[in-house]
Chain A
């Protein structure tokens, strides 16, 4: 049972009043850009949705409250509800709407067709239109760092991975962390649990506990809550990583590092583009080099030489000297994917639905 809660920030209520009396807004000298955001979870989930929300607030602060009006709705299920939420925003006069979850892709596309003057921005997808752009972050770069730390620090050689929804982004994360854990520790094994949800603390906690009971002493997660870290803490000698947000409250242990999504600069740039009329559709994919993906503080629970190794890798990826998917790499069935020195192209990565060699189980479809 889903409950939809509308979270309108301060100015939003008056904004509705303004749009209801069109003459008022027509007389206004500087028209504010009205920006809509929809989130898949609550804005205080401690992870994914919260960081989109905080980036949106940072964007408003940077551009000025007199220039931007923010309308937000959280807990929007992926599917027809999302279409309804975005249609409502478009009808209420939003100039640009950010749809911040993968499953909003087709709903956003449908609404974009109906409102050609409204700009749409979809996170982590791949479909674009004249008025719909997509943006994503190369989280797999961060996963390479996590994999390296995980491979070095595991003593049982068993690493657990709590996977969310089977989409290429999640599969890339599993592959990237596995490749890099294996590189520094050839004995390492991965156990992957798919939960088919982005946020369900009870399931996440159960999954983390199961992995720990099966001997995993490192837990990687692609779900949005801090429940797996809480389970790791309760178990004692288990480490994990912050996902989407820093989750610093679990530092220095079990949280030994984190992947942080930093969307604020992008939001600022795109809303500004709408304001000055220079907005154009695009498909961008940024990573450590531009700061859209950041690695949170690596704590002292990580041995100094491992920390150094991780930092060197961050530097190498940021500078472009190293790509996390560099051959030789085989697919799970043993067939060659990348030859020695070959680097994966973005097209393959964007549609990645296969495991690399060494991972067990199937990618659900």
Chain B
């Protein structure tokens, strides 16, 4: 085994890239769940975002337009979920699962003509001097803009939930929708907005996979990242910073296990390959302890008559 082949700086830089899609999707889902809605359709919205973003970027030649289209695509699909669960009062679990299946099929259909194409490259940030600094340069200043966007989004969501009045209302709706309704808050409207935000985030996360991380279009290319994002939210006890920790752990172990395999570590490759899932869940479960902290109205259907 030759561990010296592993460069810790590059490892950390790669970890941030590998974590970004799940991180962005998980932040969106966190807001949705804090509003009391369980949307299991993250995978479907991610893959829809992946193809919408890819198609738009290839057509216009601009990655930025691609990411905007991805957010719109993800939000568009989530609107369907919002209609089903908030207006038609359908079961959230069933609707979410249906959304995933629908998204996978829809994206495969849209994607037929985009196979084998290359998207325009998303430029890495290149700040003179700063990006050339040893260690810090590559880790802190050497990424594409989406990585920073993901981190900013996390800070923004954390601050929104913790410090703003709107954030408090959103949490109130999630904790007890009847009480929130009695206080005069528009439960359905707030939830629909949260669902749309979640959809847009999932779409962005998906587009990051198809436009930056891979970058190309293949059916089913999100490969379960949406389910990881969902699991992260739960195991992170609905707390933004723990979502970041979970995403980095997941990304970190994913990248690390590849590095260890490539360096010829004498551990069976099967164990290494399942390690990202095991380690992430284990750490977050231990951290969350006995307090589950799930929003009180999570997954429950709300109707003003109740």
Contact = CB atoms under 8 A, between A and B. Distances in A.
Interface stretch (B82-90, B98-106, B180-188, B192-200): B98-106
B116 A213 contact: no
B6 A225 contact: no
A194 interface: yes
Interface in B120-139: 121
B30 interface: no
Given A225-B216, A227-B214, A230-B118, A210 B104 contact: no
A193 B261 contact: yes
Contacts of B92: none
Interface stretch (A39-47, A266-274, A311-319): A39-47
B10 A361 contact: no
Interface string B6-42: 1100110010001000000000000000000000000
A205 B262 contact: no
Nearest to B111: A44
A1 interface: yes
B156 interface: no
Interface in B250-289: 254-255, 258-259, 261-266, 268-270, 273
B161 interface: no
Interface in B212-227: 213-216, 218-225, 227
B93 to A, nearest CB: 14
Nearest to B271: A364
A4 to B, nearest CB: 9
Interface residues of B, number: 47
B43 interface: yes
Max chain A C-beta neighbours (<10 A), residue from B115, B121, B214, B259: B214
Max chain B C-beta neighbours (<10 A), residue from A1, A191, A199, A234: A1
B216 A3 contact: no
A44 B115 CA distance: 7
A88 interface: no
B273 A42 contact: no
Interface of B: 1, 5-7, 10-11, 14, 18, 43, 100-101, 104-105, 108, 112, 115-116, 118, 121, 209, 213-216, 218-225, 227, 254-255, 258-259, 261-266, 268-270, 273
Interface of A: 1-3, 5, 41-42, 44-46, 75, 160, 166, 191-196, 199-203, 205-207, 209-211, 213-216, 225-227, 230, 234, 249, 360-362, 364
Given A214-B259, A214-B262, 9 more contacts: A1-B100, A192-B262, A196-B270, A203-B223, A213-B10, A226-B116, A230-B214, A361-B269, A364-B269
23 contacts: A1-B104, A1-B224, A3-B105, A42-B219, A42-B220, A44-B115, A46-B115, A191-B5, A193-B262, A201-B223, A202-B225, A203-B223, A206-B18, A206-B213, A206-B254, A207-B262, A210-B258, A214-B259, A215-B5, A225-B218, A226-B216, A362-B268, A364-B270
